[in-house]
Structures are given as C-alpha cells and as structure tokens.
Amino acid sequence: MKNYDNVVIFDHPLIKHKIAILRDEKTSMKEFRELVEEITTLMTYESLKEGIPTTEIQVQTPLEKCTQTVVKDNSVVIVPILRAGLGMVNGVHVLFPSARVGHIGMYRDEETLEPQSYYCKLPVGIEDTLVLLVDPMLATGGSACDAIQLLKSKGCKHIKFMAIIGAPEGVSKVAEAHPDVDIYVSTLDRCLNENGYILPGLGDAGDRLFGTK
Ligand code: PRP
Ligand code: URA
C-alpha cells in the first residue's frame, strides 16, 4: 500500500499482542469485547495526542498559582458506526468520560458490499467538536467513507477515524476520498476475500462482539 500523510498504522507490540488473541476463533465473546475496549483505549491515547481543543485555566497549588492546559468542555464526540463500533465506545470513555456519543447505523449489503445507512443521531453542536469516528473493521472502506460523508454533510470539519484492523483496499479508499481526515489503524492486514472479509482478519466483528452467530 502507498504511504498516505493522513494514515497512521500503529504496529505497537502491545496492541499486536492483543490483536493476536482477538483474531483467535477460540476467544470468547467476553474476552473479545474486553480486548476491543483495551485496544481502543491504547489507540485513543495516541490518536488524540494532537487536535483536541484545549484551554488554559489557573490552578492554585499548595505552593503557587500556575497556568495549566485542560481539555475544553464538550469538545470531543465519539461516533460509533453500528453495530461493531459500539464495542469501542467504552474504550474511549475510559480516557475521556465526558465525551458525548453520536450514532451512525450502517450495514453492508451482503451481495453488493455497498453500505446501507439506517440510522443517524448526533449530539447538538457536533459541528464545532473533534469527532472521533470508530469502527473496528475497515474492509472495502465503503462504510467509513459514507459515514465520514454523512458527518461532513452535518457540518463536521474536524474528524478522526479509528479502526482496529484495516485492509489495504479500504485504507487507500478512505485516505484518498477524505484526505482531511486523520485515519488510525492498529494493524494492516493482507487483503479482502471474495466476500469482502479481511484476511487474516477476525471474522465478523459485530457477531463476535454481540454473539449473534
Ligand atoms: C462491518 C464493520 C464495518 C463494515 C466494514 O459492519 O463493522 O462497519 O462491516 O466493511 P466495509 O469497509 O467494507 O464497509 P457490518 O456491515 O457487518 O454491520 P454490523 O456491524 O451491524 O455487523
Ligand atoms: N466486517 C467485518 O466484521 N469483518 C470483516 O472482515 C469485514 C467487514
């Protein structure tokens, strides 16, 4: 895959270790859910290194008064792409408990692999916040591209997208369609199979998170 200025692939040994367990078909639903949360927390720490709106406040320590930088109230909104993105919300909330949450519902048509949008509920004022769009799987890139387009149509100007596993096809598609969006992927897999599943991947993230199969 080509290098893109707006794409960061983490390849961190601790994240890789957790992803190895996540992939294992023998990993239970409970452990799968916990690992998705843990990986998301690690990703959030890095992804939000830059771009969070901050402000300065005065703090009186026991010794003197000083100026300190804090995160602005109501400045970050988490937007999971339903369903599987829901599994990542708590992982962001661990670091950012006050972040509000919007929801975008999308599923892939099994025949065409085209994303079908079925729900959208976003917090008031989202256009002035940093939006952290989350979905564990970036396969063809169709769902992420459409979700980003939807956010932009609602006025969002500052969007970051986090996926745990990305296929080269999907990463390229989103990076090229939305060069103004920062894309963070924990690990880049080999390719997609004929059904649009990521290889080696982890199977269907929604089914594994929610036990639907
Ligand atoms: C999965 C996944 C992404 C999408 C990725 O959702 O969570 O949203 O597929 O595929 P793409 O990059 O090719 O668009 P799915 O459609 O299976 O819905 P679900 O989360 O409700 O199971
Ligand atoms: N969605 C998933 O959940 N897994 C894939 O491999 C591709 C899309």
| Model pLDDT for residues 3-26, shown as the tens digit of each residue | 999 999 998 999 999 999 999 999
Q: Where are the alpha helices (DSSP H) in 102-154?
A: 142-153
Does ligand 1 lie within 6 Å of residue 140's CB atom?
yes
- Kindly list the domain boundaries of the chain, sorted by start residue: 7-210
For residues 40-59, give the mean pLDDT. 95
- Please name every residue paired with 194 in a beta bridge, in sequence order, or none if there are none: none
Which CATH fold would you assign to the domain 7-210?
Rossmann fold (3.40.50)
> How many CB atoms within 10 Å of residue 50?
8
pLDDT band at 110 (very low <50, low <70, confident <90, very high): confident
| 60 C-alpha to ligand 1 centroid (Å) | 49
Choosing from 114, 197, 207 the residue with most ligand 2 atoms within 8 A of its CB, the one to mutate for a pocket test is 197
Does ligand 1 lie within 6 Å of residue 137's CB atom?
yes
Instruction: Report pLDDT digits (tens) over 71-109.
Output: 998 999 999 999 999 999 999 999 999 999 999 999 999
> How many CB atoms within 10 Å of residue 82?
17
